[in-house]
Structure 1
Amino acid sequence: MADQASSSSVNNEELERAIALKFSCPTCDKYLYPPIGQCRKGHAFCPKCFDRMNRCLFCLSARSRTRCSVLEQLNEALQFPCRFANRGCTFKTKSSEIADHEVRCEHSVLVCPLRFNNCDWSGRRAQLIAHCLKTHPMNIYFSPTQQLLAKKFNDLKDRKYFILFNVYDSWFRFNWSLDSNTGTVLFTMYRLGTKPTQMKFGYEIKFVNPTQRGNKVVLRGICHKLEDEDVVFLPDKHVYADYDVMIYYCDAEGDLSYTVSIYRSSAFGGIS
């Protein structure tokens, strides 16, 4: 009886995987979910891909105004496995909800958020902290307020810095760069990934003159959500300063000390 039960369980899992594959969008390979659009010859697509196309990518027929109701009804009755099931994930849910899980699945594979620091690491999400602590120990922090140092900032040259913060149950990447030709210094803080949250975040960068403690500059911005982590700066989603102003806050050795803070805020309305 035990062998029969085990065999039945395996067969059910195989059947479930086979059915799930039939519900994959042929364009993006993600699960189909309502509203499921189709072409006039019956090729079905997920809502995002369907909205982007004018004609079917396979038969070139026009889009149909009729949704694929049969697939939609079947879809509602099924539970879909995480696409990282082959790595050990056992989570299952409706196809419309699986994407929210997959972006934070501990078994998912991702590349290092600090890849701009000449890092080519990729691995499971659950291994990210251990990797950063080993490879980037000076570029990852777990406190929402951190004092940082840019060595020899008085030496005018192109600079780029990428620093990770793991706070408020979220990942943030602090980017800043100096263009030696224009003297423009750009700063930004992005919330990484698409993990859903109702909380809004802001950041603050504080520079204090080492010889005149009351003399300081404070820059503030919104932590915008960054969907594509290969992007360094989103248009108009940063704050900036002039190099000639910033060197005024260096110490005698030319080092620039500054404090970065991330804070929760309800003051930004619907911006995320």
Structure 2
Amino acid sequence: MDFDNIECVSSSDGLDEDEIHHHNLQHHHLHQFASPKPHNANNNSNGNANVVGGPTVIAPATSVHELLECPVCTNSMYPPIHQCHNGHTLCSTCKTRVQNRCPTCRQELGDIRCLALEKVAESLELPCKYYNLGCPEIFPYYSKLKHEAICNFRPYNCPYAGSECSVVGDIPFLVAHLRDDHKVDMHIGCTFNHRYVKSNPREVENATWMLTVFHCFGQYFCLHFEAFQLGMAPVYMAFLRFMGDEAEARNYSYSLEVGGNGRKLIWEGTPRSVRDSHRKVRDSHDGLIIQRNMALFFSGGDRKELKLRVTGRIWKEQQSPETGVCIPNLCS
């Protein structure tokens, strides 16, 4: 699919210069950050955890933690932990990858469990693996994974749609990445007006564009526009995603409007977090969906050319101190 054969003419009220991470997230992914610390993160200055009785608490750089690190994938090992006849250990996932040969001494692997190391793991408490990104939490060894899958300090995937981008980072880093590497348009303000022009819309059966990032209320939002098949019907869909976590996304609302020839469609909703991939949002139909025939009707003329104008606005829901009722806070 050629993503350049649609013209987008954009305007706004100002201009500025696409799963949960499991424990097999490789360490080198985190090294793609522009800086070691995200904005507004409350980092522990020395990265150490204090012991206040109970199980041993260790920082990730200690020798015990290194013993629990798989030499193949470098992730923390969880039972069953395997070892060779010489005592070298590795995780159960990697054992299936190394063709029954120890990655350290190349001796044949049997089915030997390292029960002693598993017992050591049970006695430990460790910081969240995102401690250097600001997470202050400490957990028993076997509780870490559950927390880390939902940790608010875990990095975000690049939200760019239309390509599989593996870059991860905090929001300020990803905004710069979208601007500099994906050449996404950046706009300041909470209202927008996009015009989509396509000379032969029937050529576009399954395409994804991410056209704009908006900055308002001190936050960033991604506007998406897609063409795909909904059952047997070709449709277009526009939706907004919030560059942050789901709980904070609920503080905002947005509207989208498209029309022509005396008709219009209006959508109002809450932006989805970029924690949800753009494909997940699209497949949930959580946005403004326009049937192709309706889109061509809106376009006017001989209905052979797509000329679709989508306008919208973003607002923040605020609670009135007098009545407790939520009222929209519109940007100027």
Q: Residue 257 of structure 1 aligns with which residue?
A: 309
SS of corresponding position for 1:197: helix
Please tell me whether residue 188 in structure 1 is matched to residue 247 in structure 2: no
Aligned CA distance change for structure 1 residues 72 and 141 (closer, same or farther; 3 Å): farther
Deviation at 1:218, TM superposition (A): 0.5
Deviation at 1:249, TM superposition (A): 2.8
User: Of the candidates 284, 291, 294, which is equivalent to residue 245 of structure 1?
Assistant: 294
Shift >6 Å, 4+ stretches = 12-15, 25-29, 56-61
Q: Residue 6 of structure 1 aligns with which residue?
A: none
Aligned CA distance change for structure 1 residues 113 and 153 (closer, same or farther; 3 Å): farther
Q: Distance in 2 between matches of 1:262 and 1:18?
A: 51
Q: For residues 1-272 of structure 1, what are the structure 2 equivalents within 5 Å?
A: 16-22=61-67, 38=79, 71-74=121-124, 76=125, 78-79=126-127, 82=130, 93-95=137-139, 96=144, 100=151, 102-104=153-155, 112-114=158-160, 116=162, 122=167, 125=170, 126-137=172-183, 139-152=185-198, 155-158=201-204, 159-163=207-211, 164-167=213-216, 172-179=221-228, 182-191=233-242, 195=245, 197-200=247-250, 201-209=252-260, 212=262, 215-227=263-275, 229=277, 231=279, 233-239=281-287, 240-250=289-299, 255-264=307-316
For residues 78-103 of structure 1, the C-alpha deviation after alignment (integer angstroms, 9 at most, x for no partner) is 445647x5xxx686542546662542
Greater per-residue helix proportion: 1
Is contact 1:153–1:250 with CA below 8 Å preserved after alignment? Answer: no
- More relative contact order in 1 or in 2 (CA 8 Å, sep 6+)? 2
Q: Distance in 2 between matches of 1:20 and 1:81?
A: 12
Aligned length: 226
Which amino acid in structure 1 is aligned with residue 239 of structure 2?
Answer: T
Q: Distance in 2 between matches of 1:233 and 1:219?
A: 15
SS of corresponding position for 1:231: helix
Q: Distance in 2 between matches of 1:247 and 1:133?
A: 32
Aligned CA distance change for structure 1 residues 167 and 60 (closer, same or farther; 3 Å): farther
Aligned CA distance change for structure 1 residues 190 and 115 (closer, same or farther; 3 Å): closer
Q: Distance in 1 between matches of 2:60 and 2:69?
A: 15
Unaligned runs of 5+ in 1: 1-8, 46-52, 62-67, 105-109, 267-272
SS of corresponding position for 1:16: coil
SS of corresponding position for 1:183: strand
Deviation at 1:140, TM superposition (A): 3.7
Is contact 2:299–2:306 with CA below 8 Å preserved after alignment? Answer: yes
Deviation at 1:150, TM superposition (A): 0.5
Q: Distance in 2 between matches of 1:166 and 1:20?
A: 41
What TM-score does the superposition give when structure 2 sets the normalisation length?
Answer: 0.46
Q: Residue 22 of structure 2 aligns with which residue?
A: none
For residues 113-140 of structure 1, the C-alpha deviation after alignment (integer angstroms, 9 at most, x for no partner) is 32516x8684754433233334555544
SS of corresponding position for 1:113: coil
For residues 149-183 of structure 1, the C-alpha deviation after alignment (integer angstroms, 9 at most, x for no partner) is 11246744315322344555655443332348833
Deviation at 1:259, TM superposition (A): 1.1
RMSD value, Cα: 5.3
Unaligned runs of 5+ in 2: 1-45, 50-57, 83-88, 101-108, 112-117, 319-332
Deviation at 1:26, TM superposition (A): 9.7
What TM-score does the superposition give when structure 1 sets the normalisation length?
Answer: 0.54
Aligned CA distance change for structure 1 residues 123 and 82 (closer, same or farther; 3 Å): closer
Aligned CA distance change for structure 1 residues 148 and 29 (closer, same or farther; 3 Å): farther
Q: Distance in 2 between matches of 1:14 and 1:40?
A: 21
Which amino acid in structure 2 is aligned with residue 133 of structure 1?
Answer: R
Q: Distance in 2 between matches of 1:19 and 1:219?
A: 55
Aligned CA distance change for structure 1 residues 140 and 25 (closer, same or farther; 3 Å): farther
Is contact 1:144–1:262 with CA below 8 Å preserved after alignment? Answer: yes
Which amino acid in structure 1 is aligned with residue 257 of structure 2?
Answer: K
SS of corresponding position for 1:255: strand
Q: Residue 20 of structure 2 aligns with which residue?
A: none
